[in-house]
């Protein structure tokens, strides 16, 4: 049986599937060689294998003289695959004159899912775990690291105040570190209210940057005293005393109770 092999991409690098196909046929005593259109016209091949890795590689431009032609490789179809008995065979390195060198796969698949690449579609993307990141109101996401590698650029903004990071769980565990900080670009309004007699005024009321200080000046009226100052649900441990002017550093909402 006469077998012809066509490395459609060229001979700049060895084509591993063709080397395996060659080894598989040679074990049966078949004649295997790189396809030659001139000899093929004079003596037709029984079967020709055409292998192409890249989709952008132009197809073979010369006539193929063979009783059977089989196309393979991701350049033709991402679903193309060698039979198990061929995939597992020791390659015929002599096809490319290779000595003292071996080729193989250390890993399969890829978690990156780049639009221009077909590796994930062809070989799988492994198990993916999605980490949903939700900063507390007034805080923002600063950075995300995965096993010490900065992956902030891989985090997807969901548009609803949350972010998603898809971590690839295939061969190893992951430690994902997330850093938040106060969002100084987020603006707040300050609302000061009181009960009883006296004044309570803030030095800023509108468009106060997050993380900045607002000073509220508390002056009880004659005969009145300040009892408690509230910041949201927090009670000031330093309640002002009667007849004094006091300044209380605040960030959001206060209530003054006589």
Span 159-193, pLDDT tens digits: 888 888 887 655 456 788 899 888 777 667 777 77
Does one domain contain both 73 and 51?
yes
Quote the pLDDT of residue 244: 35
Banded pLDDT at 224 (limits 50, 70, 90): confident
Whether residue 227 has pLDDT greater than 70: no
Residue 174 lies in a domain: yes
Quote the pLDDT of residue 248: 37
For the segment 124-143, the average pLDDT, to the nearest whole number, is 80
Quote the pLDDT of residue 172: 58
The answer to which of 50-54, 123-127, 131-135, 219-223 has the lowest mean pLDDT is 123-127
The answer to which of 65-69, 88-92, 105-109, 149-153 has the lowest mean pLDDT is 105-109
Tokens 């206060």 label which residue?
A: 254
Number of Cα atoms under 13 Å in the Cβ half of residue 249:
3
For the segment 217-239, the average pLDDT, to the nearest whole number, is 61
For the segment 124-128, the average pLDDT, to the nearest whole number, is 68
**By C-alpha distance, which of 42, 45, 43, 41 is closest to 32?**
45
Quote the pLDDT of residue 226: 67
Rounded CA gap, 212 and 249, in Å? Answer: 10
**By C-alpha distance, which of 160, 175, 182, 196 is closest to 251?**
182
Does one domain contain both 172 and 207?
no
Banded pLDDT at 229 (limits 50, 70, 90): low
Pick left, alpha or beta for residue 140 (phi over 0 → left; psi -120 to 50 → alpha; otherwise beta). beta
Domain stops at, among 147, 182, 217: 182
Quote the pLDDT of residue 206: 77
DSSP tag of 102: -
Q: Tally the domains of the chain.
A: 3
Q: Residue 230 is part of which domain span?
A: 187-257
Does one domain contain both 202 and 243?
yes
Residue 75 lies in a domain: yes
Work out the mean pLDDT of the chain and round it to a whole number.
79
Quote the pLDDT of residue 79: 85
Quote the pLDDT of residue 27: 93
Q: Diameter of the chain by CA atoms?
A: 118
By three-state DSSP, how is residue 40 classified?
helix
Quote the pLDDT of residue 9: 92
For the segment 228-246, the average pLDDT, to the nearest whole number, is 41
Q: Which of 133-142, 143-152, 243-252 reaches the highest mean pLDDT?
A: 143-152
Residue 101 lies in a domain: no
Q: What is the pTM of this model?
A: 0.50
Does one domain contain both 169 and 236?
no
Rounded CA gap, 240 and 226, in Å? Answer: 6
Residue 250 lies in a domain: yes
């Amino acid at each position: 049986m006469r077998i012809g092999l066509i490395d459609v991409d060229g001979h700049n690098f060895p084509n591993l599937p063709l080397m395996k196909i060659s080894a598989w046929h040679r074990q049966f005593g078949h004649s295997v060689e790189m396809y030659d259109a001139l000899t093929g016209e004079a003596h037709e091949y029984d079967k020709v294998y055409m292998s192409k890795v890249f989709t952008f590689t132009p197809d073979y431009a010369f006539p193929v003289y063979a009783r059977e032609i089989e196309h393979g490789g991701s350049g033709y179809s991402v679903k193309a695959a060698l039979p198990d008995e061929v995939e597992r065979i020791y390659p015929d390195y002599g096809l490319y004159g290779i000595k003292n060198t071996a080729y193989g796969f250390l890993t399969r698949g890829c978690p990156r899912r780049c639009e221009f690449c077909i590796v994930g579609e062809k070989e799988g993307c492994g198990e993916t775990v999605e980490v949903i990141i939700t900063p507390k109101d007034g805080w923002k996401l600063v950075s995300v690291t995965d096993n010490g590698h900065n992956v902030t650029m891989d985090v997807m903004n969901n548009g609803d105040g949350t972010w998603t990071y898809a971590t690839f769980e295939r061969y190893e565990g992951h430690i994902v570190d997330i850093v938040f900080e106060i969002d100084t670009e987020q603006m707040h309004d300050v609302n000061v209210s009181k009960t009883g007699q006296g004044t309570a005024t803030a030095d800023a009321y509108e468009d106060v940057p997050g993380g900045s200080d607002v000073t509220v000046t508390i002056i009880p009226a004659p005969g009145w005293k300040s009892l408690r100052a509230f910041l949201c649900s927090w009670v000031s441990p330093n309640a002002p005393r009667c007849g004094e002017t006091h300044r209380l550093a605040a960030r959001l909402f206060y209530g003054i109770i006589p």
